[in-house]
Amino acid sequence: MSVINWIINNVLTQAGIIIGLIAMLGLILQKKGVGAVVIGTFKTILGFYVLSAGSAVLVTTLTYFGVMFQAAFHTTGIVPSIEAVNGYATNNLGLGGQIALAFLGIFIVNIVLARFTPWKYIFLTGQALLWMSTMTVIFGYAAGLRGAWLILAASLVGGFFCVAMPALAQPIVRRITGNDAIALGHFCTIGYLVEAGVAWLVRKRNVEKQPSTEDLKLPRSLEFLQDTYMSLAVVMIPLFLIVAAVAGPEPVAEDIGTMNYMMYAFLQAIQFVVGVYVLMAGVRLLLGEIVPAFRGISMKLVPDSKPALDCPVLFPYAPNAVVIGFITTTIGTLIAMVALPAIGFAVIVPGMLTNFFAGGTAGIFGNTVGGRRGAIIGGVVHGLFITLLPALLVTTFMNLGFPNLSATDVDTITAGLLFAYIVRPIMNAF
């Protein structure tokens, strides 16, 4: 078990290393020279970690924004955190070993399904696999499964989600990217499809092409806003400043020392734009290497397979939709935070990281299917939806003896609820 844990902690959960190894394998299978293999592998890893560096900057600024937002609007309640769920399951329930084995099982089932079924997707977002194994093991355990049966059930359900979610999203991903080279490997896909469905319902009828968020016509004096990063700054700087002005200096007084808190908010907003810039650069570098390298795997090991990559790979295709998706999803989560307790659910505090990454991706889906109207209205519904599922999960968790905890990523929640509402009643019947 210690060897398996070492492999998982040092290799399989290090997505950059996995993607680098995948690229190396693909290049070797294409019989590339040593130099091409080394360069292709290195650039793939480099692209991933540039992307990760951009994400880290965004996480820092959004964490700050979340603190200020909660202070400004006095929001208190449960902040969904899959990391906390994983920690509780490992330390308090002793399920760490089962989660580790299920992680490996999910990866193997994914490869087998991609090899022998029409769903040719290989899920390469390693951290998401860990969250999926956490949820399926917890809820499989709660359903009464133990030992090998628990590992097998968690692996089969998780592996199924690894190919099913990219397959369901692929028709829209194909429209976003204009080709079939990559797939989406992010366990928030059901939320994206909900937004796409709403966008389809509210789209303009009898038009050849939906008015896109990327084709906004601006007056000559505002044409500078057509620059992605300029438009992002124009939106985010006032947003950060307004929230900081309402929250006051106290929430960050210890962190900023003698600096004025409004100036600090301004710099955080600039950092946000920097994070997006770095992230986009990493995505372009990564895609430029992993797609041709993966061709070797799709030709030799798993014919016609596609790499399912994390959600930021779609951001360069519709950056305006990312911003609109973030804002409208946040509005939806705020509405849900107020509305759901009125009908008996727990208060779920909006998570800015989820709102940006999942909301931004959902915005791209909404814009692709229903144009600007789809991105805006669909985004609000998406915010409601991704708050409703964690609220449902709180009750289920409490019935299992968990403290006030909930998780993010709607696909992993769905997999857990599958055990709670289908497998558990079946187990109880025997």
pLDDT tens, position by position, 237-255: 888 899 899 988 888 888 8
304-348 pLDDT, tens digit each: 889 999 898 999 899 889 989 999 999 999 999 889 888 888 888
The pLDDT value given to residue 395: 78
CB pairs under 8 A, 24+ apart, for 142-148? 142/400, 142/419, 142/420, 142/424, 143/419, 143/420, 143/423, 143/424, 143/427, 144/424, 144/427, 144/428, 145/423, 145/427
For residues 408-425, average pLDDT:
88
**Higher per-residue pLDDT: 279 or 171:** 171
Q: How far apart are CA 287 and CA 41, in angstroms?
A: 12
**Predicted local distance difference test score (pLDDT) of residue 119:** 93
For the entire predicted model, the pTM comes to 0.83
- Higher pLDDT, residue 81 or 1: 81
Would you state the pLDDT for residue 49?
Answer: 86
